[in-house]
Amino acid sequence: MTGVAELSGTDQVVVVGAGLAGAQCALELRQGGWRGRIAVVGEEPHAPYDRPPLSKDVLLGKADATTLDIDYEGLGIELLTGRRATGLTPGVLHTDGGDLPYDSLVIATGATPRVLPGAERAHLLHTLDDALALRALLRPGLRLVLVGAGWIGAEVATAARQAGCEVTVVEAGPAPLPGALPTEIGSAMAAWYAEAGVELRCGVGVAAVEPGAVLLADGSHLPADEVVVGIGARPATGWLAGSGVELDASGAVLVDGRLRTTLPGVFAAGDCVSYPSARSGARLAVQHWDHALQSGGAAAAAVLGADEPYDPVPYFWSEQFGRMVQYAGRHAEGDELLWRGSPQDAGWSVLWLRDGVPGALLAVDRPRDLTQGRKLIERGAALDRALAADPSVALKSALRGATA
């Protein structure tokens, strides 16, 4: 790969995707010494913005925009908003606004919400415009049904209750966050819904969204003035068909440890990526803010010639029902589950251990556990099980061989 000092001023990088990953990539390219043209292509009409506040500050009316604080004009970064990628051939990105030649391309098109069959009338929450439109509907007494008790569902339910809505959450799984967390942890979180005045219906799917009601798979009807669906997202990569960029079964872009795709000169970052993690011993596809930020910077470094593998400790957070929920690492089937405290406590945590070494940590209102646990996961440090299970002992003091 050419070093930064050898780059000509005519080399062009095109970043397709104007979310956090794409914006961060463009910023770090310029700050890292790239002197050629940088163009960022985005489908939405807005400049790149932060998505986490959409289900919080924007829905609650505390903010109308979450634009990232980047001086694109001053940095000589060209923003091409309102343009949709339609295809890719070597050296050329095709868009509905014309072709863009590139020397290097970074794919950062993110993910799109999954649509529930039979719920065409329902709202989705993914973009700024989605959040503003939903906010305009929230009012005291509004009967809101949320499909999916995942991270987004819990956050929207939180905001809707604060707006005075009557909220029901329907989840086909046995407890909140199925697939993301073990049922025993999701079940502990179910109490939060009741405390907030939210009706939670688990173990039943949605058959159809009808005018004024939601029909459930068990034949029952839920009155609904508005319906929001939050059942996950899939990589926004359909436009790459026939490009030579290899995708996995989910549609995620397969990259190597340097975020390089199977097409020369093409890199990828953010929610649309599946990358190899030596730390986890598996490929990971992460759809969270921290990964978008870090992988965007790592893709820029790769374009600039760096040869460092991308393998951070995954991290995300969620603010729901007056609680801060944080997660670091990656747990797997067969890991030992170790509780630090109880769900009845003001704050509690859960560790996933492999031969005493933490692979993941979930912390509820215990930010020190998260900070210290994340470092221990990164180091691969073995813990003393008895000390680690004692919430009065700092995790950093629970190393195997240590004394309380």
Residue 402: inside a domain, yes or no? no
Tens-place pLDDT, residues 56-75: 999 999 999 999 999 999 99
Tens-place pLDDT, residues 166-221: 999 999 999 999 989 999 999 999 999 999 999 999 999 999 999 999 999 999 99
In CATH, what number is assigned to the domain containing residue 332?
3.30.390.30
Tens-place pLDDT, residues 135-180: 999 999 999 999 999 999 999 999 999 999 999 999 999 999 998 9
In CATH, what number is assigned to the domain containing residue 100?
3.50.50.60
CA 125 vs CA 52, 83, 145, 202, 376: distances in Å: 11, 21, 14, 21, 35
HEC-encoded secondary structure of the chain: CCCHHHCCCCCEEEEECCCHHHHHHHHHHHHCCCCCEEEEEECCCCCCECCHHHHCCCCCCCCCCCECCCCHHHHCEEEEECCCEEEEECCEEEECCEEEECCEEEECCCEEECCCCCCCCCECCCCHHHHHHHHCCCCCCCEEEEECCCHHHHHHHHHHHHCCCEEEEEECCCCCCCCCCCHHHHHHHHHHHHHCCCEEEECCCEEEEECCEEEECCCCEEECCEEEECCCEEECCHHHCCCCCCECCCCCEECCCCCECCCCCEEECHHHEEEEECCCCEEECCCCHHHHHHHHHHHHHHHCCCCCCCCCCCEEEEEECCEEEEEEECCCCCCEEEEECCCCCCCEEEEEEECCEEEEEEEECCHHHHHHHHHHHHHCCCECHHHHCCCCCCHHHCECCCCC
pLDDT-based confidence at residue 241 (cuts at 50, 70, 90): very high
Round to whole Å and give the CA distance between 323 and 318. 8
Tens-place pLDDT, residues 224-234: 999 999 999 99
Round to whole Å and give the CA distance between 108 and 13. 13
Pair of tokens at residue 396: 């950093």
Residue 218: inside a domain, yes or no? yes
Q: Do 160 and 259 lie in a common domain?
A: no
Q: Do 18 and 163 lie in a common domain?
A: no
Tens-place pLDDT, residues 276-332: 999 999 999 999 999 999 999 999 999 999 999 999 999 999 999 999 999 999 999
Q: Do 220 and 247 lie in a common domain?
A: no
Tens-place pLDDT, residues 325-360: 999 999 998 999 999 999 999 999 999 999 999 999
pTM: 0.94
| Number of domain units in the chain | 3
Pair of tokens at residue 98: 């014309």
Cα–Cα–Cα angle for 315, 316, 318, rounded to 5 degrees:
160
Residues written for the chain: 404
Q: Do 256 and 353 lie in a common domain?
A: no
Q: Which domain holds residue 61?
A: 4-112+233-303
